[in-house]
Amino acid sequence: MDNASTDATAEVARSAWPTDFQVPLRIVHESALGLSNARWRGFLEACYQVVSFIDDDNWVSPDWLRTAHEVFDRDPELAACGGFNEVAFDGRPPAWFDAYKWSFAVGPQGPSPDTADTNAPSLWGAGLTVRLAAWHGLQQCGFVPLLRDRTGSALSGAGDTELCLALRLAGWRLRYEPRLRLTHFLPSWRLHWSYLRRLHRAFGASTVGTDPYYAALEPIPPKGRAWVRHTWEWQSAVVLKHFVTHPKTLFRLFSRAGEGNPIALSAEGQVGRLRALLKTRGEYNASFVRVRGAAWAARDDSSDREQHRKPARSDGITKVE
């Protein structure tokens, strides 16, 4: 996917691809800037049964295609899987990196680095591999995402998390497969504490969009007064109460000292969440009703899911972005 790039990346890719290679290279131009736009266009353009999100800073292992095909071919109930993401640095990593590497989509996505998790709650976007039929099933039932991933330098996100949660609500399963390996390259400018703080503020903001999905995934819908905690008023009060009862959080928010201190990241997350709540005051409560009552949610009819599982093509080549 050439997502409104301003350099010669597309031409370099075209010239580097062997002309006699058994898999053809097709470059699709998407003029609407943004990760979500690029990925959605990739889904629409894909002509094989498995789609992988391979970003421009991801280097996949040589057996990626074969492993992905084997994983999906073995489990017809599987909608998406993610792998073990290693890291390559541009320079020396900061002392705090290992504690927060998950923020950069690095490391295992399951309880053990080497053990598959066949019931993963969600997966990272870097290397996320999706069954195309599962995505088409969502679209055919009217799925419209609440969140948008990053656009340009703006660190909005969680579109990948929303997709995973929607697939779970539709009755599919997710899997962490450690045999799927990629290397995530991190340039030096992303390894500053200030960048990580911005990232966690974006994480906090994205939780407002994923709240309705987690609520819908609860085994029993809230009854009586329990539904109150899923309202804008309640959630806004919870964030404000956090700042009142944890004054150190506010201090860390305005302090440049304490690099590596988790309180500062917690503060950024709370600020991001509060700002997002304020922006969605008139929409937050309605989003719970929208997700829980969506036509694509809670689809337990196996025959219906089987209809959406038919592959577009018989071979398992990924469409990379």
Class of residue 219 by CB neighbours under 10 A (exposed 0-12, middle 13-18, buried 19+): exposed
The pTM is what? 0.87
Would you give the end-to-end CA distance of the chain in angstroms? 5
Whether the Cβ atoms of residue 117 and residue 169 lie closer than 8 Å to each other: no
Domain extent at residue 223 = 32-319
- Report if residue 12 sits inside a domain: no
Contacts of 79 (CB under 8 A, 6+ apart): 130, 131, 134, 167, 168, 170, 172, 173, 174
Q: Coil, strand, or helix at residue 131? A: strand
What is the pLDDT at residue 309?
42
- Report if residue 190 sits inside a domain: yes
Q: Quote the strand ranges of 134-240, DSSP E.
A: 173-186
- Report if residue 173 sits inside a domain: yes
- Report if residue 121 sits inside a domain: yes
- Report if residue 18 sits inside a domain: no
- Report if residue 273 sits inside a domain: yes
The CATH number linked to 207 is 3.90.550
Q: What is the pLDDT along the chain (321 residues), one digit of tens a residue?
A: 999 888 988 999 999 999 888 888 999 999 998 888 899 999 999 989 999 999 889 999 999 999 999 999 999 999 999 999 999 999 899 999 999 999 999 999 988 888 888 889 999 999 999 999 999 999 999 999 988 766 655 666 788 999 999 999 999 999 999 999 999 999 999 999 999 999 999 999 999 999 999 999 987 665 666 778 899 999 999 999 988 888 777 766 666 657 888 988 998 999 999 999 999 998 999 999 999 999 988 644 443 444 444 333 333 333 343
- Report if residue 19 sits inside a domain: no
Count of domains observed in the chain = 1
What is the pLDDT at residue 302?
42
By residue count, the chain amounts to 321
What is the pLDDT at residue 316?
38
- Report if residue 174 sits inside a domain: yes
